[in-house]
């Protein structure tokens, strides 16, 4: 069902109200002899003060025509948008490669990769904490590199390999970083842990035998509000000594 053009209807109502107010203003400010008792005070004369009945009706006609014109132009604009290859503003289909699987979904262009994963694909390892690209709880790997998924649009991730903490290992077969986090008890509430494990996995792959200072610098984009950095440093150092994940 076609949705009413609220902006146009509001403009029509506003114009009608203004014209009526002008007519009333003219009636109250005219000389008594002119406003006494009959409708002829609202004259059709184009040179008279105020707004005539004819002008009032013409104004309504113009507003109505404008409303119809805007309604007719809308589908033309949408068709032109489709032909130009632009996406949105409504939902459109796309496919994301998540943890080695093709996952089709529909999203609006404004949807972030984090929201697409959590709300559309039920991949809840990445956590939505700051939603501003500062805490690292939403970290995923995109083509092997750590990315804040709250700061990347889902449409930007098309055709790229996305790996979340769910794709790094399983409880029965953990990767080196996950095993080290368990060994060194490198978590407390656990809310930041998926982001740390994901970022640390990318770090140790590229930095075997990393020093403590290198680990601190490499994981500086992830925050732990519980303050369990000591255990995390030991875990990442242990995993790095084993040659990565």
Terminus-to-terminus CA distance in the chain, angstroms? 54
Nearest to 107 by CA among 116, 96, 117: 116
Q: Is 153 helix (H, G, I), strand (E, B) or coil?
A: strand
Nearest CA to 117 out of 133, 134, 141, 84 is that of 141
Question: Mean pLDDT for the chain?
Answer: 80
**pLDDT, tens digit (0-9, with 9 covering 90-100), for 127-182:** 999 999 999 999 999 999 999 999 999 999 999 999 999 999 999 999 999 999 99
Site of tokens 């309504």: 60
Lowest-confidence pick of 66-70, 192-196, 221-225: 66-70
Look at residue 216 in the predicted model and tell me its pLDDT: 94
> Can you give the pLDDT at residue 241?
87
- pLDDT surpasses 80 at 16: no
Confidence (pLDDT) at 196: 96
Residue 89 pLDDT:
86
pLDDT in tens, 17-54: 555 566 555 555 554 544 444 444 444 445 555 667 67
Q: How far apart are CA 141 and CA 98, in angstroms?
A: 10
- Which domains does the chain possess? 6-83 (no CATH), 96-166 (3.10.20.30), 168-241 (1.10.150.120)
Global pTM exceeds 0.85: no
Whole-number Å distance between alpha carbons of 159 and 101: 12
Q: Looking at per-residue confidence, does 117 or 80 come out higher?
A: 117
Instruction: Taking residues 76-102, report their average pLDDT.
Output: 79
Mean pLDDT of 191-220: 94
């Amino acid at each position: 069902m076609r949705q009413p053009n609220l902006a146009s209807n509001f403009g029509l109502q506003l114009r009608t109200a203004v014209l009526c107010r002008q007519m009333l203003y003219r009636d109250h400010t005219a000389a008594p002899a002119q406003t006494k008792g009959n409708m002829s005070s609202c004259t059709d004369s184009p040179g008279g003060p105020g707004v005539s009945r004819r002008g009032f009706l013409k104004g309504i006609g113009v507003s109505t025509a404008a409303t119809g014109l805007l309604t007719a132009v809308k589908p033309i604009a949408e068709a032109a948008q489709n032909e130009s290859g632009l996406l949105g503003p409504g939902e459109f289909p796309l496919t994301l490669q998540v943890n080695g699987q093709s996952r089709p979904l529909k999203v609006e262009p404004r949807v972030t990769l984090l929201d697409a994963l959590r709300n559309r694909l039920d991949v809840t390892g990445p956590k939505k904490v700051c939603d501003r690209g500062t805490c690292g709880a939403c970290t995923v790997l995109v083509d092997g590199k750590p990315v804040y998924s709250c700061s990347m649009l889902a449409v930007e991730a098309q055709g790229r390999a996305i790996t979340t903490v769910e794709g790094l290992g399983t409880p029965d077969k953990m990767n080196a970083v996950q095993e080290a986090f368990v060994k060194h008890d490198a978590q407390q509430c656990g809310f930041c842990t998926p982001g740390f494990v994901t970022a640390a996995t990318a770090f140790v792959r590229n930095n075997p035998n990393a020093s403590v200072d290198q680990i601190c610098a490499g994981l500086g984009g992830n925050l732990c509000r519980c303050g369990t950095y000591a255990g995390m440093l030991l875990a990442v150092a242990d995993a790095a000594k084993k040659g990565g994940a």
